[in-house]
Chains A and B, each alone.
Chain A
């Protein structure tokens, strides 16, 4: 390949003690969770004290890591080779519990109770589409503070939620901040604070409109919630801003995960551009599920022509079948190669690692080890 991008040196990244956080992001269905777990395991077996925060792992993989249940606390993963002095803890994000804990830690018990029971809070904390992103950020912040305080971990690997767009993860804190600073919150708080000078004509138009659309009861629930939440807002915003700053810091490395498909690579390209714009530390791109390369040089066209010749006489020819399979394989490889080259042409400096598709899903540590091996042996796999 002429336009080959630089190779992502995974082991150098993992062995670098200044790497404290690795964030794996990308479109849904590209193997982010598996990549995060494989990176975490490899780092642990190379001597790092790792915690991996997963969002929605496949059941059997979660079980094999000992996190079959959602419990929001890092649990040690057994059967990790600890010879180099490393360790691996894993946890699965429980977004509601994380949200509840933040409320409980910030408010007086009385106030916390009031918030936790508000119907609006219940809906917000359990079903709002962006809550997972906020809470993944929040948990990351918590883990990092704890690691600094007690030295329990020196590397945090984060899997990001299966968002509509990979960018949602980055946008979450900003969105929260701008909302909390917004006029709408002041509007909702107005009745609680009494008839202040905020109550302009515009406000009453809006309040009336909201009552008309939402009904008075929903509006009241929202107002109670916001009023109870008011004192917490400062804390929330500060934490969100801090976590965002943490993501921009030198100890963080973003690994963008993709599959050799147009949509996944397009999403990866958006993400890479965004990271560059926001001055975020990008480690590189991992392309999962690459099709296995062909075992012989015969071109797809030659194979198809030959298969056609054979099948004009005998439609069930085994050899014709072999030739067609080969042609299909070559075409898929060419297409994937073309997609990767297009990405590399637009982003020539992004270090890349390509991981071939496994025959079956990864359900155990051996499978994760094999992926880790393949991630770090780029360019040396002879075929």
Chain B
């Protein structure tokens, strides 16, 4: 990597960023924002999805992605205004299997026969773990792709971001190759599975966990970190997503919490700001702030638990407008300022 980043990032050696998180925490959003953040200063980044959701296409507002690397966006520019490119790949197991068979085994006619006999269908839907082996295998191929390799038109990537299955399944998903290597004690599958495991367990991989500041997701994150470590998989950072707005200063928050807000002062300020103050307005605004203070307090408790995990953490705000490409760039810049990329 020759590019000069805005500032040194926390993961300079990492080529494969795996992003997981409990459902509803916004892991796909974070994966996309991370890809944009990494795609700076002329670097090429590949964003992969493996769960058949076409979430990338929706976020970037492009047509559904085929099994083919597509350039989908410019990354977030560096200080000199130089951006890189984000490419996207939707990995489906059927295509990955056919590609794998033709690449490694030159099966030709047999490949078609396999399909006709329902083997492809069997392998990708029923057979234990094969689906995950194929998905991780394709990601491995993109990460390990040699520069100027066999196919000249193939892009080599400075980083690959994988929008991975949720936290509850991440160890099974990433560890599937070691399980398979155990099932097949010799043979080509074992060799391949061992190689994939070697990458996934190396410092070139980081598994980041996305959470929100609520009890169950934080608990699941903490469990996930423990399981990843036990499985020998490299834990990356924790991205705390959808953080509530911090519009009240700590002192204001304390006043709201202690019920010491002076209504006449608020009334006169509102009047100064040319708001029509009716009887209920001040009380309503303060009551809303109290709801907010309760949530903030719960968030702070959960934040302490996240910090106790002693891994780098990054925070992203909840954007009231929802997620579109502009919002993703905004989140990418926040990640970069915090040193995630």
Q: A73: shortest Cβ distance to chain B, in Å?
A: 23
> Judging by beta carbons under 8 Å apart, are B109 and A306 in contact?
no
The A-B contact count (CB < 8 A) is: 222
Q: Do A29 and B128 touch (CB < 8 A)?
A: no
Q: Decide: A202 and B322 in contact? CB cutoff 8 A.
A: no
Whether A206 contacts B168 by the Cβ 8 Å rule is no
Query: A206 contacts which of B114, B169, B216, B275 (Cβ < 8 Å)?
Result: B114
A187 to B272, CA, bound (A): 83
A359 adjacent to B216 (CB under 8 Å)? no
Contact A184 B118 (CB under 8 A): yes
Which residues of A, 180-212, contact B by the 8 Å Cβ criterion?
A: 182-184, 187, 202-203, 205-206, 208-210, 212
> Which of B131, B255, B273, B320 is in CB contact (< 8 Å) with A307?
B273
| Binary A-proximity of B198-229 (CB < 8 A = 1, otherwise 0) | 00000000000000001111010000000000
Query: Does B338 reach chain A (CB closer than 8 Å)?
Result: no
Q: Are A59 and B128 in contact (CB under 8 A)?
A: no
Closest-by-CB residue of B relative to A262 is: B322
B101, closest chain A residue (CB):
A213
- Which residue of A has the minimal Cβ distance to B212? A29
Chain A contacts for B169, CB-based, 8 A: 129, 162
Residues of B within 8 A of A317 (CB): 269
Contact with A along B85-109 (1 / 0, CB 8 A): 0000000000000000100010101
Among A165, A214, A296, A335, point to the contact of B52 (Cβ < 8 A). Answer: A165
Q: How many residues of B contact A (CB 8 A)?
A: 82
Residue count of chain A within 8 Å CB distance of chain B: 75
Known: A29-B25, A209-B114, A215-B190. A322 touches B273 (CB 8 A): no
Q: A218 within 8 Å of B by Cβ?
A: yes
- Distance in angstroms from B303 CB to nearest chain A CB is 15
Q: Say yes or no for A124: interface residue by CB 8 A criterion.
A: yes
The 6 closest A-B CB pairs, nearest first, are A215-B187, A28-B23, A29-B24, A29-B23, A296-B284, A123-B128
Chain B residues with a Cβ under 8 A of chain A: 22-25, 28, 51-53, 55, 101, 105, 107, 109-111, 113-114, 116-119, 121-122, 125-129, 131-132, 165-166, 168-169, 172, 176, 179, 183-190, 214-217, 219, 245, 247-249, 251-252, 255, 261, 265-266, 269-270, 272-275, 280-281, 284-289, 291-292, 294-295, 298, 320-322
Q: Can you name 13 extra interface pairs (CB under 8 A) apart from A187-B117, A214-B187, A215-B184?
A: A28-B22, A128-B126, A129-B169, A162-B23, A164-B52, A182-B118, A212-B107, A215-B189, A262-B322, A263-B55, A296-B280, A320-B247, A321-B252
